Amino acid sequence: MGRIPSNVEADVPAIGFIAHVDTAPDASGENVKPQIIKNYDGSDIPLKGVPGLALKPSEFPELLRHKGETIITTDGTTLLGADDKAGVAEIMDAVQYIMTHPEFKHGPIRIGFTPDEEIGRGVVKFDVPKFDAVYAYTMDGGEAGELEFENFNAASAKIHIQGSNVHPGTAKGKMRNAILIGQEFGSLLPVEQRPEYTEGYEGFFHLISFKGSVEEADFAYIIRDHSRELFEKKKVQMQQCADFINAKYGAGTATLVLKDQYYNMREQVEPHYHIVEIARKAISDAGLEPRVQPIRGGTDGANLSFRGLPCPNIFAGGLNFHGKMEWVPLESMEKASQVILNILSEFAK
């Protein structure tokens, strides 16, 4: 945590800016060798660490929106880490400007960098009273112009299937194959509510791991929905699947453990909607078209909002997060830094 004292006499609320320093575990973030493509011309960008691999506008048409800009990519062997090192860089760039331009007027500023956001524990030990901000913003979104103040309600579901292994030669009427029972469990959930078939405000059941043998199997889902009512129904539906399996194959065959992870921050931010309007104006004043949209994921701001620190999310500029095709335009990062300054100026008026 860090802080910059106010340089105005007016009573201005303390505003925080937060980013996370960890990167996604989906691909290696070690020994990152970024590529810097100046004055991007709209062609394919070879990722030189892996022969034949390239960022192609035919696959990622949003590249064409950034012709003429400086594009930073991976070399194809690791993550870039823009999620969320871009947010860290943008905040520190704004801090550097503030510290070298004493004529820039602002109220109290709070800065926080957190670990473990990517595993959902980013603010478990975050000391909100010590941070001492009235409102905050996470710099952790995607394309330039994005502004988000609502996210999924989220839960995890872990299922253990206890089967019964018998020699296949004498298995009739005796064997209960835990792998097949686990597959049957999955088939009871609606296919159309898988992530690959959903968008916008639509929720999903997402199978994230499956490991097992004939004797026993373990698998895990994440459950997501923007609607609290539909979220609760999804958890009930998951329990009904476990109950069905136990009724069919015997008590104790399926053991389900459900755990809530975070909730939609909209209900905590909306009573303070002026902080969204200020961010919207700050984005517009930076020369961008504000795009207010729901987060199809989680954010540290959700847990912070429920702990008394209303905390919308602002773009960091990166695209294709969590994979080796990750990239970020330098100009989008510069715009994000300008948005931070614009927000502080608005609060100081």
**What average pLDDT does the chain have?**
96
Range of the domain at 227: 153-262
pLDDT at 154: 93
Q: How many CB atoms lie within 10 A of CB 258?
A: 17
Residue 124: pLDDT over 90: no
pLDDT at 120: 75
pLDDT 10s digits, 177-231: 999 999 999 999 999 999 999 999 999 999 999 999 999 999 999 999 999 999 9
Same domain, 19 and 142: yes
Which position among 83, 117, 146, 326 bears the catalytic label?
117
Same domain, 113 and 24: yes
Domain stop point among 262, 284, 314 = 262
Catalytic: 69? no
Domain count, the chain: 2
Same domain, 243 and 94: no
Please check whether residue 344 is in contact with residue 107, taking contact to mean a CB–CB distance below 8 angstroms: yes
Which position among 22, 84, 140, 300 bears the catalytic label?
22
Which CATH number belongs to the domain containing residue 13 in this structure?
3.40.630.10
pLDDT at 205: 98
Same domain, 146 and 16: yes
Residue 123: pLDDT over 80: yes
Same domain, 126 and 251: no
Domain stop point among 247, 262, 277 = 262
Same domain, 166 and 108: no
Please check whether residue 150 is in contact with residue 306, taking contact to mean a CB–CB distance below 8 angstroms: no
Which CATH number belongs to the domain containing residue 204 in this structure?
3.30.70.360
Catalytic: 285? no
Same domain, 42 and 93: yes
- β-strands 254-262, 153-162: how paired? antiparallel
pLDDT 10s digits, 306-349: 999 999 999 999 999 999 999 999 999 999 999 999 999 999 99
Domain stop point among 242, 262, 282 = 262
Same domain, 247 and 268: no
Q: Report residue 106's pLDDT band, with 50, 70 and 90 as the boundaries.
A: very high
Same domain, 26 and 109: yes
Same domain, 144 and 274: yes
Residue 248: pLDDT over 80: yes
Q: Report residue 285's pLDDT band, with 50, 70 and 90 as the boundaries.
A: very high
Same domain, 172 and 248: yes
In angstroms, rounded to a whole number, what is the distance separating the alpha carbons of residues 342 and 346? Answer: 6
Same domain, 88 and 22: yes
pLDDT at 141: 80
Residue ranges of E strands in 98-171: 109-114, 135-141, 146-148, 153-162
